């Protein structure tokens, strides 16, 4: 065994002194470990006296070999940046910092606003069950109001892509007792044709407040405060009668067009007003469906199309610009 170790040692030490790259060094390290493993394995068949003598020889070789490998490795580390010099005439590279998408930034503005007003932020699944998206919102099967929202169904009539985040409100009301004050932002899907004010996928923020003595006056106060904080005190806000199966009474909320100041333009389709959200007092059947006593509790709900508000806030003209990924435009906005 001693002769085998001497032969391997001489060859190994010679190669570690002349190794040219890390790949060769890794190969030598693997070869060294395999040889040691075979030596220790052969040592089992020796007598106690031989084990003591040859064990010392093997351990001495192991220590020396590891030392040689470490020296060779350190040499490569020290030479890693050899020859690289600092040239003070080279122009410094400008570091370009990224920024949030305008839609994300706008959502953060709204989140802070509602948190300041005492609302909590909740979320839910985008792939939803029919009973949460429709049935528990006073829209049973074959209800005509379902035609108001062309829906993307997935594998069966009971599973769909949510058409509003009102489904999150139902889940929350089932899990907690009043008072409730929540907002639920998220992506929703509807089979809409693309035009300046519509896309088949958009972001929505819905709000819900349920408690004792909640009235339409509370709803108006919250929405007018939010809209005037988003834009400015000069905008006009109007509530006009509308219909939503899960609220009664219901109101669509319009604001005077930011772009044309009610003169008529492409953003408002010439009307001078833009509908930014739907709202109303929560329908008693919805409250009863989650186990609330309608003699004690009332509430209001609202749904804001965030894409449309972002279009107005940044004066983009068309909603589809939000998805065009125009870097130059985002730089200007940020």
Q: pTM for the full model? A: 0.63
Among residues 233, 241, 253, 257, the alpha carbon closest in space to that of 305 is found at 253
Tell me if 151 sits within 8 A of 160, measured CB to CB. yes
Whether 84 maps to a domain, the answer reads no
Whether 199 maps to a domain, the answer reads yes
Whether 271 maps to a domain, the answer reads yes
Split at pLDDT 50, 70, 90, the class of 264 is: confident
Among 54-68, 148-162, 269-283, which stretch is predicted with the lowest mean pLDDT? 148-162
DSSP letter, residue 321: G
Pick the last residue of a domain from 63, 78, 93: 78
Domain count of the chain? 2
Whether 177 maps to a domain, the answer reads yes
Mean pLDDT of 133-162: 76
Cα(72)–Cα(25) distance, integer angstroms: 8
Backbone angles phi, psi at 239, to 5 degrees: -105, 125
Tens of pLDDT, residues 52-67: 887 888 888 888 888 8
Same domain, 50 and 144: no
Tens of pLDDT, residues 71-96: 888 776 665 545 545 556 666 677 77
215 vs 194, higher pLDDT = 215
Write down the pLDDT at residue 102. Answer: 82
Mean pLDDT of 165-182: 90
* Percent residues over pLDDT 70 in the chain: 90
Cα(148)–Cα(198) distance, integer angstroms: 14
Tell me if 106 sits within 8 A of 205, measured CB to CB. no
Write down the pLDDT at residue 25. Answer: 81
Cα(119)–Cα(13) distance, integer angstroms: 73
Same domain, 46 and 130: no
Whether 319 maps to a domain, the answer reads yes
Whether 64 maps to a domain, the answer reads yes
Same domain, 69 and 108: no
Stated as kind and residue range, the H or E segment containing 28 is helix 22-43
Angstrom CA distances, 118 to 82, 115, 207, 240, 331, stand at 61, 5, 12, 27, 33
Same domain, 158 and 286: yes
Cα(198)–Cα(192) distance, integer angstroms: 7
Residue 218 tokens read as: 């509370």
Same domain, 64 and 148: no
DSSP letter, residue 143: -
Whether 30 maps to a domain, the answer reads yes
Helices 2-18, 48-78: axis angle to 10 degrees equals 0
Please say if the pLDDT value at position 282 is more than 90.
yes
Tell me if 267 sits within 8 A of 196, measured CB to CB. yes
Range of the domain at 186: 102-333
Whether 90 maps to a domain, the answer reads no
Mean pLDDT of 6-16: 82
Tens of pLDDT, residues 308-317: 888 888 877 7
214 vs 323, higher pLDDT = 214
Please say if the pLDDT value at position 113 is more than 60.
yes
Indicate the average pLDDT of the chain. 82
Strongest mean pLDDT among 37-41, 118-122, 330-334: 118-122
Split at pLDDT 50, 70, 90, the class of 33 is: confident
Same domain, 190 and 120: yes
- Which parts are annotated binding residues? 248
Please say if the pLDDT value at position 215 is more than 90.
yes
- Which parts are annotated binding residues for Mg(2+)? 248
């Amino acid at each position: 065994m001693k002769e085998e170790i001497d032969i391997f040692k001489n060859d190994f030490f010679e190669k570690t002194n002349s190794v040219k790259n890390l790949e060769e060094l890794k190969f030598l390290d693997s070869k060294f470990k395999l040889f040691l493993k075979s030596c220790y394995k052969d040592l089992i068949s020796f007598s106690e006296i031989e084990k003591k003598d040859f064990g010392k020889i093997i351990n001495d070789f192991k220590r020396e070999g590891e030392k040689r490998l470490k020296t060779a490795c350190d040499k490569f580390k020290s030479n890693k940046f050899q020859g690289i010099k600092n040239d003070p005439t080279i122009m410094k590279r400008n570091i370009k910092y990224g920024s949030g998408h305008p839609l994300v930034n706008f959502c953060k503005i709204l989140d802070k606003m509602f948190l300041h007003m005492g609302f909590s932020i909740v979320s839910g699944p985008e792939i939803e069950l029919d009973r949460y998206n429709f049935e528990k919102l006073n829209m049973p099967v074959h209800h005509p109001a379902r035609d108001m929202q062309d829906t993307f169904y997935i594998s069966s009539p009971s599973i769909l892509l949510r058409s509003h985040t009102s489904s999150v409100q139902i889940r929350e009301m089932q899990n907690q007792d009043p008072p409730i004050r929540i907002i639920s932002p998220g992506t929703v899907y509807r089979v809409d044709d693309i035009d300046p004010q519509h896309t088949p996928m958009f972001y929505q923020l819905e709000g819900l407040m349920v408690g004792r003595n909640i009235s339409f006056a509370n709803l108006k106060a919250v929405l007018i405060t939010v809209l005037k904080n988003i834009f400015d005190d000069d905008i006009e806000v109007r509530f006009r009668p509308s219909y939503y199966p899960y609220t009664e009474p219901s109101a669509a909320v319009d604001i005077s067009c930011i772009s044309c100041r009610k003169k008529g333009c492409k953003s408002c389709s010439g009307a001078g007003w833009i509908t930014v959200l739907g709202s109303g007092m929560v329908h008693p059947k919805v409250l009863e469906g989650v186990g609330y006593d309608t003699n004690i509790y009332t509430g209001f709900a609202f749904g804001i199309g965030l894409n449309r508000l972002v279009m107005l806030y940044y004066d983009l003209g068309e909603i589809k610009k939000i998805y065009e990924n125009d870097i130059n435009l985002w730089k200007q906005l940020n």
